[in-house]
Amino acid sequence: MSIAPPSSKKPRTSKSPSSSSDDIPVPEITSVDYVTLTSHADAFGVDPIPISWGHPDPSIRGPVICTVRHSSQRNAIGAHSGSYCIYTGLAVAAGKLNPEYVPNLKLTSPVFNIGPHASWSDPKKIASIDPFGHLTNQAYGGYLDKGFDIRPTIAVTKAHIDLPETREAVAAGRLVPDGKILMSCGKSIVRKVAVEPVWYLPEIARRFGCTETMLRQSVFRMTNGMYPELITRPDIKIFLPPIGGLTIYIWGKKMLLSLDKYRFTLILIDMPYSFTRISII
């Protein structure tokens, strides 16, 4: 099995597209009646939005576009929502969801700030999530205004969480409610971050000690050819895999997470809940 040579297009390294709408291309809308089995890097009409993974400026880095409306301009392989993307197809097939529906994100924003951090601009530290995935409206509002369908891959909000072990600790006197983070009933007020996986294939391959070509071929084979663009689109380096994401619950002041003098308790919980708890001590 061979992979076609990569595209000669160079990633953007300067000029912020958010500075002027003239710098943002016109979105090309794909007809929902048109079905394509795969695409090729040098085919006529294929013009993915440039993305410079690891650039600290999100407007120069570029948005991750993996929706079905812009097949010629997509710069990511796969689909949003991980393994749940199949339910979108079921909803469309049942006539319960308009395939041309685009959510209005113009009034959305994270309820608290995260970053930016130095690791966001180091491709060897950030390879399985989009660090700007929660800033779709703030960083790529110009694209949304022009009609691009760009979806967030990180949701940042606040939540109440009720854990049995917390209620037991309050009842036993091991934890003392403060009325701000821990309530007398045992519930906690936390910060919640839901993360959808976004893979940067060159770094994922490096971490597994193989070439990017081998990684692409192995995933293509072991998914029974589910993603032919892993083979036909070596110019696209971003992959949204069909796997579950993760949810992070943060107790305490989130700004302390970046300070070395504080100790943290990190609890990893595997499927089916798949969430990470971070407590500040």
Confirm if 196 and 189 have CB atoms less than 8 A apart: no
- For residue 30, the cross-strand partners are none
DSSP string across 154-169: EEEEEEEE--HHHHHH
- pLDDT of amino acid 87: 93
DSSP H or E run through 87: helix 85-93
CA distance 148 to 61: 16
Candidates 192, 181, 191; CA nearest to 246 is 192
Is the torsion defined by CA of 94, 271, 258, 122 positive or negative? negative
| Percentage, residues of the chain above pLDDT 90 | 48
- pLDDT of amino acid 260: 61
What would the pLDDT profile of 2-36 be if each residue is shown by its tens digit?
A: 444 444 444 444 444 444 566 898 988 887 777 88
What would the pLDDT profile of 193-217 be if each residue is shown by its tens digit?
A: 999 999 999 999 999 999 999 999 9
Rounded to two decimals, the pTM is: 0.83
What would the pLDDT profile of 227-242 be if each residue is shown by its tens digit?
A: 999 999 999 999 999 9
| Cis upstream peptide for 272 (omega within 30°) | yes
| Cis upstream peptide for 116 (omega within 30°) | yes
More confident residue, 256 or 185: 185
What would the pLDDT profile of 76-91 be if each residue is shown by its tens digit?
A: 999 998 888 999 999 9
CA distance 227 to 219: 8
DSSP H or E run through 277: strand 275-280
What would the pLDDT profile of 147-169 be if each residue is shown by its tens digit?
A: 999 999 999 999 898 888 888 99
What would the pLDDT profile of 35-58 be if each residue is shown by its tens digit?
A: 888 889 888 889 999 999 999 999
- pLDDT of amino acid 154: 95
SS3 254: helix
DSSP state letter for 127: -
